[in-house]
Structure 1
């Protein structure tokens, strides 16, 4: 009896000591925080061969473009388990060719409504509530839209309000943020995921996540634009909406962390169909705007990421949508494959530097190809006629610190068959990016 008592006491002391050690490793809980970021991207493309151009082509002459964004992010805990965030943002910029001519646009910071005059607006205003369901505590570091503290390994999280859908879904570690990683639109998220967003990339809605150790299941519904790629949102969320469901599994390979993700989505809105436009046009030029009606668009995306030690990581994505109706909120892409690698500079004595290299192959459905070949114009592409070939993109960037919380990135993109047209291009885009964050 005494022996059991001593063993029990020893076990209790060990567990208590281990719990205390884990608690010491967790950051203190923030009651509030404030962060800021500013990003400037300058781009240049030389002239490139193009025997003809159409109303939505990438212009073949030399062009320069730029974008600037500045964001403040404020967070506060209004009650236990809750976090409230507010992000005012200002943007300005000038896009290549009026933001036309590419499936994978070259600057993920370039919004559809940006212009040479600074525009201030609310980017995010959302509430996050977390219900702890047990399990070991996990550290959460202070960041934009993230209060420092800890969360349970098993939890339920509800996020509701004004945000970007990609804040929650398809959150790839190596290819997700144009302010610090790859620039091309097709590397920010699944290229064929026509996710609900206004012309600035934000929406209103809610998402619920259940996280249990290595597993995560999340679903959400968000407002669609009132018009294709427009700024105003359609508030009839039970009639027109963007739904997505994602299953995520954390993995371990050779003692290194990784993740697998499966995403499915369904959009519902008044959209124009490519086949309807072709049937209605006859011998004339088809126009999806003339055949808009209630439609659904469905799609799927599969993603993976894998660390290769502390200084390297790989990622890959594959996505497609049904390709029957016009692009409504994101990129003019219906089939997409992408893969890449990220390397930190420790291998060459520059620990704070980062090198990223990625390849993308974007494609269109048969119906969309026929529509463009007949002279149709989409939200972003339309050369008047189409000699179809998938659009291929190679992007590489090198990021280095300049000083206090400021980074300089050199980026180059080689784009073959711009706008899916083998008769035009290739085109090369060089970029400089300055990014400050605090």
Structure 2
């Protein structure tokens, strides 16, 4: 009955291709069979686990005004786009403290404007290698080993890539294999998951965090995490792409790599829990620098191009991540981050300074305890060298209007997640972009989204 009602609602309001109708049906069928999650008090050690998710995001924007457009501009015409992802999370307890995880995944997407024209991209489910045909691949394959060192016991619930059981609050955890760096680093209870929370890339993690990954944001490497009561310390080294924003990874991890370090502290303020995280990263990659590209163009003529001046270089950056509960139903968050702004974007977004903050509210006060309302503000910026590169006509992987009247890019995002059942949520989301791609001669523009998410 639920499936028929949803399909009728969507058919009445939106036009989907035949392929998209198939994905919608698969999502709803999986959700209908989903079991309810166990209560935290019922934690028993799992020897294996199977979870899954499917997420469909439909987006639309109207036409908007711009004085000019370039190769990588957001199109001024009205557009529609969509993304679909489906993932299985398979886990096995291999031995004492050992866990093995495998995630097969499928994606299908048509981005607006070919995924160009913004610093803070509008859909964190979109990938640089998106295709209108379904693409199947291995997303993750990794081993996690935990050694306990005492302290209080902490319950771990059954979840994707997490087997239920009890762990020591003082423990050492090693993770090794194929995964996403932000599976481990820069978590946030209110702004981290584009499948259930905010959609914008700059709210899933730090905008300037050029965290290493292939075109699907996955890489190979390892991380160590040490937990001591209310403190956690993390360090990880991972492979970088062989080429800027490429799919193939460079296996020479001793020569080219991405290192990150993070310190986390749990605290209580006025009886409410919160977390503070400090992160720093350092990437060694074969990159082009903005100043080098400008100097090369001045000497040889033509438009500056970072691809002409690539060499072994270092990129570094840092960020502060805060989350704080204000009550049983309200939480706030903020991130402040930047990178050195000297070299091209290698793996993530074209953002070099960013400030974001927001609030998340559960719907208990209006008798919808499983609903969530979220609102956030983002301001993104570029380094002076990057501004001059774009003003001279240079292109990045995502942005480049041919010229630039620089202003910080500002984004407002609000969403309401309506719980259809324990396993299915329908979300309405709106994003307002001011100075898209840091250009005051373009926009503003509003993007509306609908997201259907199912999990088990």
TM-score by length of 2: 0.90
Equivalent of residue 141 in structure 1, options 157, 177, 182: 157
Instruction: For residues 261-309 of structure 1, give each alpha carbon's deviation from its aligned partner in whole angstroms, at most 9, with x where no partner exists.
Output: 1000000010000000000001521000000000000000011000111
SS at match of 1:77: strand
Instruction: For residues 159-186 of structure 1, give each alpha carbon's deviation from its aligned partner in whole angstroms, at most 9, with x where no partner exists.
Output: 0100000000001110000000000000
* Match runs of 1:18-417 below 5 Å: 25=41, 27-282=43-298, 283-403=301-421, 405-417=423-435
Is this contact kept in 2: 1:340–1:358, CA < 8 A?
A: yes
C-alpha RMSD over aligned residues: 0.9
State the alpha-carbon separation in 2 of the partners of residues 26 and 240 from structure 1: 45
Instruction: For residues 186-222 of structure 1, give each alpha carbon's deviation from its aligned partner in whole angstroms, at most 9, with x where no partner exists.
Output: 0000111000111001110000000001100000001
Following superposition, the deviation at residue 26 of structure 1 comes to 6.0
Following superposition, the deviation at residue 322 of structure 1 comes to 0.2
SS at match of 1:356: strand
Is this contact kept in 2: 1:104–1:186, CA < 8 A?
A: yes
State the alpha-carbon separation in 1 of the partners of residues 198 and 41 from structure 2: 32
Equivalent of residue 421 in structure 1, options 399, 420, 439: 439
Instruction: For residues 398-420 of structure 1, give each alpha carbon's deviation from its aligned partner in whole angstroms, at most 9, with x where no partner exists.
Output: 00112351100000000000000
State the alpha-carbon separation in 2 of the partners of residues 65 and 35 from structure 1: 28
**Bigger shift: 72-81 or 400-409?**
400-409
Runs of 5+ unmatched residues, structure 2: 1-39
Is this contact kept in 2: 1:56–1:101, CA < 8 A?
A: yes
State the alpha-carbon separation in 1 of the partners of residues 47 and 370 from structure 2: 30
Is this contact kept in 2: 1:26–1:149, CA < 8 A?
A: no
Deviating above 6 A after TM superposition, structure 1's stretches of 4 or more consecutive aligned residues are none
Runs of 5+ unmatched residues, structure 1: 1-23
TM-score by length of 1: 0.94
Is this contact kept in 2: 1:26–1:138, CA < 8 A?
A: no
Q: How many residues align?
A: 415
State the alpha-carbon separation in 1 of the partners of residues 221 and 330 from structure 2: 35
State the alpha-carbon separation in 1 of the partners of residues 332 and 421 from structure 2: 28
State the alpha-carbon separation in 2 of the partners of residues 83 and 357 from structure 1: 36
